[in-house]
Structure 1
Amino acid sequence: MLYVLKRIIALALVLLVSSFIVFSGMYLAPGSPEQFLVQGRTVTPEVLEVIRAQYGLDDPFLVRYWNWLVDVLHGDFGRSLVTQQDVSTLVESRLPTTLFLATYAAILIVFAGVGLGVLAATRSGAFEKIVVFGSNLGFAVPTFFAALVLMAVFGSNLGWFPVSGSGEGFTDRIWHLTLPAIALAFPAIAVVARITRTAVREEQGSEHVVMAIARGVPKRIVLGRHTLRNSMLPVTTVLGTNIAGLLASAFVIEYAFTLDGIGSLLVNSVQKKDFAVVQAIALIMVLAFGLINLIVDLLYAVIDPRVRLAREVSA
């Protein structure tokens, strides 16, 4: 319990530091909000002063940051400089598509990556060579290129899946987001499959596994209870890292498949210097990454009780 509390406090500190970096980084970027608001028109100093006062740009930097942070903690991310919409409402309308896509891709990574890695480790021969070749291909093929290939083959030529839009309703969303999810998950599946295969192979040669087999324990029980469980620590780390990065890499897929997610919104907002929207999306990504890392740390203790015992002793 104490360890969980420490991790939550650490996550809160990371979010606080990240919020300061996100807020200050946007103001250090070329251009300024007032320059965007006047759209290159020549305005009098009085008008510019009114604009700065309206958006709080005439306050000291730390005051602006504090006011912004307090508003964020109350769920208020400000207003979009481009659409004049509430940022929370704007992001909320786009977030379900990205979350559905990232969750779909995460499920593919877990089942396909771990499953293929385990099968490759337990079955030598042609199947193992195919998995190794596929993992090498996953390392080499960029996400955007994978998306284009999937769109051309399974969308345009075969017509099995749509190549644009996110769909309506659960079933329709799955149909529309299958190709984007596969393209998004493909590199991570390759990494997880390779790490899983290596971890299981190493565990198969460990002393306790050899002794279990020598005692006549059925291979199925040895595989599940001894080999897989003890090989899952490095696999869990890789899974957490790749799943946490899905939100950050989703913008490439959303742009390719013209999806209405926060990734495509982030790209448009950066191009148009819509500071409030960029700051909100950046914080969401930092929060998602931190939460997933926290879950991975907690899973360590579930997978290996020795990790939990070590943490209790250190605490």
Structure 2
Amino acid sequence: MLDFIEDLGHGIYAIDTGFQRPRFDAAYLMVENGHAAFIDTGTNHAVPRLLAALNALGLATDAVDWVIPTHVHLDHAGGVGLLMEALPRARALVHPRGLRHMVDPKALWLGALAVYGDEEMQRSYGKLVPVPAERAEATHDEQIVHLAGRPLRFIDSPGHAKHHHAIWDEKSRSWFTGDTFGLSYRAFDVDGRAWILPTSTPVQFEPEALKATVARLLAAEPVAMQVTHYGRIGGSVAEVQRLAAVMLEQVDEMVALAQLLKDAPNRHETLKGGLLAAYLARVQGHGYRGDMAAAADWLALDAELNAQGLEVMLDRPAR
């Protein structure tokens, strides 16, 4: 097996897309009776790895039935169009609020370009490739599609983004959660226990919607969550519930800190610093005894993006 592929059992493989750093961004490949589906793809730069994973598992490109981004943020869906050019039979299943951005990614590109600039866009993402409209379809809440008879259930899962769905796989009793069940980096695992962090990445973070989504996820009594950043977490119903409680506690803490600093001078830098300090304290409280300077480097981007998302929430007009 290639070193960037991890066999998670039940025909599910996590593929390290190579985005930013090792074991930061996962795409998932599900295999059932000679048929396959990708759930999240990473960026364009991940596509060679995804195709290599098919080859390593003895699957032809026409074995892929579905390409399913959990949402259209570029670290999850940036490679969908380019990947599908290599998969002659695949269809894309996209949240209805995200479908138009896969068919015409111009707005996605311009939005990210305004934040990162052209050099960084080319380095991290590459030029976005549109998905032909006739090969893409919108999902709906409680829709079930099949992969060689294996049912996959979709639910609308807002909170992180309004264009987000989660996918339930009964065979593994797990959800593919994109970013709705937070982030969990394997570097911070302690004695087999995962550390977890919510993501309030801009621009559609809604804490109450996120809590409602997590409640729906837990109602299925999952034994694991397949998170994009990074990998399979849980292992039992009780452990998934523990992780959910820890994550939602942090949601409340992050929102409270943001509200406290709403009118503070130099708000962004103060909020970002407060978030990073809180995350590092949680890492240590979890039992991590590694290099804290490296931990701060790993979490700096999350603190930056989460601060941005919280500030969008603070400045959103009251309904």
TM-score (norm 2): 0.23
Instruction: Give the structure with the larger helix fraction.
Output: 1
Of structures 1 and 2, the one scoring higher in RCO (CA 8 A, sep 6+) is 1
Instruction: Give the structure with the larger strand fraction.
Output: 2
Structure number with larger C-alpha Rg: 1
TM-score (norm 1): 0.23
